[in-house]
Amino acid sequence: MNTRNKIVTLNRRGLPNMEIARRVGVSRQYVWAVLNPEKRKRKYNLSAAVRSALEDTGIALMSIAGVARLLGVHPNTIRRWSDEGLIPCIRLGPRHDRRFDPQLVMETIWKSDSRNS
């Protein structure tokens, strides 16, 4: 019996993920990933063609840390704003890292500031 089948079998017996991981000899994150394959899929994915087109245009994208420094807030604030859709981001690579167009970020911030004043 392979590892995935063992994990599913132990889960059906009602064991918690930590116990399954200990018995099978894998991490609890791996157990979770096996039991929840649909939750591992991301909503946003950028194809290789789009990524190369971005590189060809010369648009400089910023990381979470760069945007946080630019706005003077904590990086977790940028993550939260991105998750809530307040700041537009692009997801890149297999890890789906967030990248931001600084011009779009500043326009979004200015629009929200003008609404609040």
- With left for phi above 0 and alpha for psi between -120 and 50, is residue 14 left, alpha or beta? left
pLDDT in tens, the chain (117 residues): 799 999 999 999 999 999 999 999 999 889 998 998 876 555 545 556 556 666 666 667 889 998 999 888 999 999 999 999 888 888 887 888 899 988 888 888 777 766 665
The pLDDT value recorded for residue 56 is 65
The pLDDT value recorded for residue 96 is 85
The pLDDT value recorded for residue 81 is 92
* Structure token pair of residue 36: 């929840």
- Going by the DSSP 8-state scheme, the letter that residue 97 receives in this structure is E
Q: How many CB atoms lie within 10 A of CB 64?
A: 19
The pLDDT value recorded for residue 40 is 58
The pLDDT value recorded for residue 49 is 58
Using an 8 Å Cβ cutoff, are 77 and 68 in contact?
yes
- Rounded Cα distance between 64 and 89, Å, is 10
* Structure token pair of residue 50: 């789009």
Which single residue is written with the structure tokens 């392979």?
A: 2
- Rounded Cα distance between 16 and 18, Å, is 6
Q: Which CATH code of 3.30.450, 1.10.10, 1.10.30, 3.40.140 fits the domain covering 48-116?
A: 1.10.10
